[in-house]
Each structure stands twice: as structure tokens, then as C-alpha cells.
């Protein structure tokens, strides 16, 4: 895994530098999370599908070449929108999806990382995304009633069958990662993380030591005290708080790959501006001193 020198560019994810996944796929280090393109409660289609498609196309125009999604977003809706907006895909675009969670209703999630379900989920994602192989396939979460080894072995088998290029994990501990790595190489880990919510700091450090990308979800998530500090720094810099939060993540580790999501082109462009935002050392340390759990 490597990070290239940042390039100066106007409003482009290229300014964040790059990271290479598994020694194979190099992407710009500011991606896009496609969960919020769906309906309320991450359920059903968006109220304005045309805008969702426009957001995806604008993201790619702005240099985003890593898009994160899951079969449970909608369910199915996010993957279908990505294909409608972007297929046939640009040659450098990496789509990472997930399997192992079900969506029985709005704001409801249930585990199913059984081998049978993971196979079914993978086949569904291939069809919806109009792909012959998923670039990065993530186990969405360990299932408390299914042995982790059984879930990982299933994904590894699907990789050996040519249906998955690279394997990744989400919502995991270091123990989960190490157990999975005994079965198959792991290229990225996606956990909840932000400057104000660093429960998984030790996982970020583990990933950095082992050349594994770390993909933070819920990258803002400040509590009241953290929010005040974020606003103070943002006001002084004449930027948005989310831009400061994203800049902190990019500075935190060279293996960090933030994926801020939005259903708005204006918010998308605000997020991308964070790629070229450089925090001072004092700003970075002030933010790092906040350890409030996300509210």
C-alpha cells in the first residue's frame, strides 16, 4: 500500500493523494459513500432519482474513483442507481460493495452472513451493478450466530471463482481482522470513526502497520463540545465544519480513505474541497484532543 504526493488541483478528489488497495487498485483518497442516495431510513428509492444519478456522475467528474455501497442500502436501490448512472464504468472506477446484512424495513438491520446468503447476495450485487466481478467485496459485519471463519471462507471461495477481486471487512475488531487474514488477504476495513469518535483508533493503527486501507463511516459525528471546536476552526478558515472533519481524517493516517456521502451536488462539492484543505499542526492536535463519542 502506498500514498502518492498530493497534487494541487481545483475542486478534485485528486488533491487528496492516492492509496493502493491490495497492491492492485489505486484510487484517490477521497471516495463517495452511496448509502444516502436511497429513500428515508435507507429504504426504497430516493424521492428524486434524477438528482441521485446526477450526484454520482458529478462525483466521478470531480475525480472520485472509489464508490462504496452495499446490497442492503435500499435494499438494492443504491447498487441499481450506481449502474444506471455510471455503467459502462470508467476504467479507473473501483466499486466496493458489501453483503451480510438484511433490510427488513426502514432503519432496520438484521444479520445474515451465512454462506448461502453471502453467495446469494454476491450474485445479486453482480447483476445489479452489471459486473462480472466485484472489485472490493466487504463482509458487512460479523454475524453473531454464524462462525466468522465460515463467512470468510465463503467470500474467499467466491474470490477463487473469479467473482471477487479483493476482499475486505466492515464493523470489525482486530481479532476479526487477524482471523480473516489467516484465510484470505484483507485490503480494507470499514468502521465508524471520526475526529470526535475514536473508539477504533487502535484498528486504524493496526491497519497502518499492516498496509490495510481504513474506510471511516460517519466521518463527522461530533458531540456538543467537539462540534463547537469544529465550528471555531471552520469559521476561522472560512470553510465548512465537515471539510475540517474530513481534512483531519486525511491527515490522521496515510491509509485513511474517507467516503463522505450525500444526496446533494452542492454538499458533494463541499466535501471534495476538503481534499486540498491542509490543517495546521495546532488545528490537528486540538481536534485530536477531542475524544467524545459521536452523538
Residue with cell 438484511: 102
Examine the pLDDT at 50 and tell me if it is beyond 90: yes
> Cα(213)–Cα(32) distance, rounded to whole angstroms?
15
Tell me the average pLDDT across 207-235. 87
User: Which residues are CB-neighbours of 32 under 8 A, at least 6 positions away?
Assistant: 56, 59, 64, 66, 67, 68, 259, 260, 261, 268
pLDDT at residue number 4? 40
Tell me the average pLDDT across 67-91. 98
User: Which residues are CB-neighbours of 36 under 8 A, at least 6 positions away?
Assistant: 42, 261, 262, 263
Backbone φ/ψ region at 133: left (φ over 0), alpha (ψ -120 to 50), beta: beta
pLDDT at residue number 221? 61
pLDDT at residue number 290? 85
Q: pLDDT averaged over the chain?
A: 94
Give me the catalytic one of 73, 89, 137, 193: 73
pLDDT category of residue 172 using cuts at 50, 70 and 90: very high
131-169 residue pLDDT tens:
999 999 999 999 999 999 999 999 999 999 999 999 999
Which of 71-80, 87-96, 193-202 has the weakest average pLDDT?
193-202
Tell me the average pLDDT across 77-94. 98
pLDDT category of residue 227 using cuts at 50, 70 and 90: confident
The model's pTM is: 0.94
Residue with cell 462540534: 227
CA atoms within 13 A on the CB side of 267: 15
Examine the pLDDT at 293 and tell me if it is beyond 80: no
User: Which residues are CB-neighbours of 232 under 8 A, at least 6 positions away?
Assistant: none
Please, which residues bridge with residue 195 across strands? none
8-35 residue pLDDT tens:
457 999 999 999 999 999 999 999 999 9
pLDDT category of residue 5 using cuts at 50, 70 and 90: very low
- The answer to whether 73 is a known catalytic residue is yes
Amino acid at each position: 500500500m502506498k500514498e502518492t504526493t498530493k497534487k494541487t488541483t481545483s475542486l478534485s478528489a485528486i488533491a487528496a493523494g492516492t492509496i493502493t488497495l491490495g497492491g492492485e487498485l489505486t484510487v484517490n483518497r477521497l471516495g463517495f459513500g452511496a448509502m444516502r442516495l436511497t429513500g428515508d431510513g435507507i429504504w426504497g428509492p430516493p424521492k428524486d432519482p434524477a438528482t441521485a444519478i446526477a450526484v454520482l456522475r458529478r462525483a466521478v467528474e470531480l475525480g472520485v474513483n472509489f464508490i462504496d455501497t452495499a446490497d442492503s442500502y435500499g435494499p438494492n436501490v443504491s447498487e441499481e442507481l450506481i449502474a444506471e448512472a455510471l455503467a459502462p464504468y470508467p476504467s479507473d472506477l473501483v466499486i466496493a460493495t458489501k453483503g451480510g446484512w438484511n433490510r427488513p424495513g426502514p432503519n432496520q438491520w438484521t444479520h445474515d452472513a451465512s454462506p448461502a446468503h453471502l453467495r446469494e447476495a454476491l450474485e445479486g450485487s453482480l447483476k445489479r451493478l452489471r459486473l462480472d466481478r466485484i472489485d472490493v467485496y466487504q463482509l458487512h459485519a460479523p454475524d453473531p450466530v454464524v462462525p466468522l471463519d465460515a463467512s470468510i471462507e465463503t467470500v474467499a471461495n467466491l474470490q477463487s471463482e473469479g467473482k471477487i477481486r479483493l476482499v475486505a471487512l466492515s464493523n470489525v475488531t482486530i481479532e476479526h481482522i487477524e482471523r480473516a487474514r489467516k484465510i484470505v488477504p484483507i485490503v480494507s476495513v470499514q468502521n465508524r470513526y471520526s475526529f470526535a469518535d475514536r473508539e477504533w483508533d487502535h484498528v486504524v493503527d493496526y491497519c497502518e502497520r499492516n498496509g490495510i486501507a481504513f474506510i471511516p463511516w460517519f466521518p463527522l459525528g461530533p458531540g456538543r463540545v467537539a462540534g463547537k471546536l469544529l465550528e471555531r476552526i471552520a469559521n476561522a478558515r472560512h470553510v465548512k465544519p465537515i471539510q475540517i472533519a474530513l481534512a483531519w481524517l486525511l491527515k490522521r493516517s496515510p491509509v485513511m480513505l474517507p467516503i463522505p456521502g450525500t444526496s446533494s451536488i452542492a454538499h458533494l462539492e463541499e466535501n471534495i474541497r476538503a481534499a486540498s484543505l491542509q490543517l495546521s499542526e495546532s488545528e490537528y492536535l486540538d481536534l485530536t484532543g477531542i475524544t467524545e463519542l459521536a452523538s
